[in-house]
A and B are shown apart, each in its own frame.
Chain A
Amino acid sequence: MSTNLIEIDEQVALPGDGGPPAGGGSYDGGEGRPWRPSLPPQRTYTTGMLIAIFGSAMFFLALVSASVVHRGMPGSDWMPLRPPAVLWATSAIAIASSLTLMRSTSRLKSGHERSFSQWWTITAMLGLCFLGGQLFAFHQLEAEGLYLVSNPSVSFFYVFAVAHGLHLLGGVIALVWIELRPSARIPQGTATTVAALYWHFVTVLWLFLFAFFVIGG
Chain B
Amino acid sequence: MSAHAHTLEVSEAPTGFISKYIFSTDHKVIGIQYFLLGLTSVVIGVLLSVLMRIHLAWPAGKMPFLQGGIMTQAQYLSLVTMHGTLMAFFVLTTAPQSGFGNYFLPLQIGAPDMAFPHLNMLSFWMTFLGLVCLISAFFVPDGAPISGWTAYTPLSGIGQITGPGEGYGQTMWILSIACFCIGSLMGSLNFIATTIDMRAPGMSLFRMPLTCWGWFITAVLMLLAFAVLLAGAILLLLDRSLGTSFFLPAGIVVNDQLQHHAGGSPLLWQHLFWFFGHPEVYIAILPGLGVTSHVISTFCRKPIFGYREMVFANIAIGTLGFMVWGHHMFVSGMNPYSGFAFSLMTMSIGVPSAIKTFNWISTLWGSKIHFDTPMLFAIGFVSLFVSGGLSGLFLAQPAVDNLLHATYYVVAHFHLVMGVAALFGVFAATYFWFPKMFGRMMNPTLGKIHFWITFVGAYCIFMPMHFLGLVGGIRRYADYSAIAYLQPLRPLTMFVSIAAFVTAAAQLIFLFNFFWSLKHGAVAGKNPWKATTLEWTTDSPPPRDDFGGHDPSVYRGPYEFSVPGAREDFIPQNLEPAQVAREEQS
- Using CB atoms and an 8 Å cutoff, list the residues of chain A in contact with chain B: 1-2, 4-10, 12-16, 19, 21-25, 27-30, 32-38, 40-41, 43-44, 47-48, 51-52, 54-56, 58-60, 62-63, 66, 69-70, 73, 75-78, 148-149, 151-152, 155, 159, 163
Q: Which of A33, A47, A148, A149 contacts B543 (CB 8 A)?
A: A33
| Known A21-B525, A29-B543, A29-B548: A55·B223 in contact at CB below 8 Å | yes
Taking CB atoms, residues of chain B closer than 8 Å to A8 are 4-7, 548-550
18 A–B pairs (Cβ distance < 8 Å), ordered by A: A16-B530, A19-B526, A23-B435, A23-B523, A25-B540, A28-B544, A32-B15, A34-B11, A36-B8, A44-B196, A44-B197, A58-B228, A59-B228, A60-B231, A62-B272, A70-B265, A152-B244, A155-B245
Give B544's nearest chain A residue, CB to CB.
A35
Bits for B510-534, please: 1 = Cβ < 8 Å to A, else 0.
0000000000000111100010000
Taking CB atoms, residues of chain B closer than 8 Å to A60 are 231
Taking CB atoms, residues of chain B closer than 8 Å to A29 are 539, 541-544, 548
| Interface contact A10-B235, CB-CB below 8 Å | no
| Interface contact A76-B263, CB-CB below 8 Å | yes
B239-265 contacts to A, CB under 8 A, are 242-246, 249-250, 262-265
Q: Which of A9, A28, A62, A70 contacts B227 (CB 8 A)?
A: A62
**B12 within 8 Å of A (CB atoms):** yes
CA A148 – CA B6 in complex, angstroms?
60
Give A37's nearest chain B residue, CB to CB.
B11
Taking CB atoms, residues of chain A closer than 8 Å to B192 are 47, 51
| Interface contact A43-B197, CB-CB below 8 Å | yes
Taking CB atoms, residues of chain A closer than 8 Å to B494 are none
| Known A47-B196, A151-B263: A24·B523 in contact at CB below 8 Å | yes
Q: How many Å from the CB of A9 to the closest CB on chain B?
A: 6
| Interface contact A12-B193, CB-CB below 8 Å | no
Interface-lining segment among B389-397, B501-509, B571-579: B571-579
- Using CB atoms and an 8 Å cutoff, list the residues of chain B in contact with chain A: 1-13, 15, 20-21, 29, 111-117, 185, 188-190, 192-193, 196-198, 223-224, 227-228, 230-232, 234-235, 238, 242-246, 249-250, 262-265, 267-268, 271-272, 275, 435, 439-440, 523-526, 530, 537, 539-545, 548-550, 567-568, 570-572, 574-576, 579-581
| Interface contact B13-A35, CB-CB below 8 Å | yes
Taking CB atoms, residues of chain B closer than 8 Å to A63 are 231, 235
Taking CB atoms, residues of chain B closer than 8 Å to A54 are 223
Q: How many Å from the CB of A166 to the closest CB on chain B?
A: 11
Taking CB atoms, residues of chain A closer than 8 Å to B117 are 38
Max chain B Cβ within 10 angstroms of own Cβ: one of A54, A58, A60, A62? A62
Taking CB atoms, residues of chain B closer than 8 Å to A152 are 244-246, 263-264
| Known A21-B525, A36-B9, A159-B235: A70·B268 in contact at CB below 8 Å | yes
| Interface contact B7-A28, CB-CB below 8 Å | no
Taking CB atoms, residues of chain B closer than 8 Å to A25 are 439, 539-541
Q: Which of B10, B230, B541, B568 contacts A59 (CB 8 A)?
A: B230
CA A21 – CA B523 in complex, angstroms?
7
Taking CB atoms, residues of chain A closer than 8 Å to B7 are 5-6, 8
| Interface contact B581-A14, CB-CB below 8 Å | yes
| Known A36-B8, A149-B243, A152-B245: A5·B544 in contact at CB below 8 Å | no
CA A28 – CA B543 in complex, angstroms?
5
Taking CB atoms, residues of chain B closer than 8 Å to A66 are 231-232, 235, 246, 268, 271-272
Q: How many Å from the CB of A176 to the closest CB on chain B?
A: 20
| Interface contact B549-A6, CB-CB below 8 Å | yes
CA A70 – CA B234 in complex, angstroms?
16
| Known A9-B548, A12-B576: A155·B198 in contact at CB below 8 Å | no
CA A14 – CA B486 in complex, angstroms?
64
What 7 A-B pairs come out closest when comparing CB atoms?
A6-B549, A29-B543, A23-B439, A35-B544, A38-B113, A58-B227, A77-B263
Max chain A Cβ within 10 angstroms of own Cβ: one of B21, B435, B544, B550? B544
CA A100 – CA B308 in complex, angstroms?
47
Q: Is the interface of B mostly helix, strand, loop or mixed?
A: loop
Q: Is the interface of A mostly helix, strand, loop or mixed?
A: loop
Max chain B Cβ within 10 angstroms of own Cβ: one of A14, A28, A47, A69? A28
Taking CB atoms, residues of chain A closer than 8 Å to B234 are 159, 163
CA A73 – CA B235 in complex, angstroms?
17
| Interface contact B9-A22, CB-CB below 8 Å | no
Taking CB atoms, residues of chain A closer than 8 Å to B550 are 8-9
Q: How many Å from the CB of B516 to the closest CB on chain A?
A: 15
CA A44 – CA B117 in complex, angstroms?
12
For the complex with contacts A9-B548, A12-B574, 7 further pairs of A-B residues with Cβ separation under 8 Å are A23-B541, A32-B12, A34-B549, A35-B12, A55-B223, A76-B263, A148-B238
Give B29's nearest chain A residue, CB to CB.
A27
| Interface contact B223-A28, CB-CB below 8 Å | no
Max chain A Cβ within 10 angstroms of own Cβ: one of B20, B112, B197? B197
| Known A2-B10, A6-B549: A22·B540 in contact at CB below 8 Å | yes
| Interface contact A27-B541, CB-CB below 8 Å | yes
Taking CB atoms, residues of chain A closer than 8 Å to B526 are 13, 19, 21-23
Taking CB atoms, residues of chain B closer than 8 Å to A13 are 526, 537, 572
CA A44 – CA B113 in complex, angstroms?
13
| Interface contact B20-A28, CB-CB below 8 Å | yes
CA A7 – CA B2 in complex, angstroms?
6
| Known A34-B11, A62-B228: A40·B250 in contact at CB below 8 Å | no
| Interface contact A48-B10, CB-CB below 8 Å | no
Max chain A Cβ within 10 angstroms of own Cβ: one of B9, B542, B581? B9
Taking CB atoms, residues of chain A closer than 8 Å to B530 are 15-16
CA A33 – CA B356 in complex, angstroms?
43
| Interface contact A159-B524, CB-CB below 8 Å | no
| Interface contact B246-A70, CB-CB below 8 Å | yes
| Interface contact A149-B8, CB-CB below 8 Å | no
CA A44 – CA B192 in complex, angstroms?
10
| Interface contact B525-A22, CB-CB below 8 Å | yes
| Known A35-B544, A62-B231, A75-B263: A6·B8 in contact at CB below 8 Å | yes
Q: Which of B6, B13, B567 contacts A28 (CB 8 A)?
A: B13
| Known A28-B20, A38-B545, A56-B227: A5·B245 in contact at CB below 8 Å | no
Q: Which of B113, B185, B197, B250 contacts A55 (CB 8 A)?
A: B185
Taking CB atoms, residues of chain A closer than 8 Å to B244 are 148-149, 152, 155
Max chain A Cβ within 10 angstroms of own Cβ: one of B13, B20, B440, B568? B13
| Interface contact B440-A33, CB-CB below 8 Å | no
CA A22 – CA B538 in complex, angstroms?
9
| Interface contact B242-A24, CB-CB below 8 Å | no
CA A197 – CA B62 in complex, angstroms?
62
| Interface contact B524-A23, CB-CB below 8 Å | yes
| Known A22-B525, A66-B268: A1·B9 in contact at CB below 8 Å | yes
Taking CB atoms, residues of chain B closer than 8 Å to A23 are 435, 439-440, 523-526, 539-541
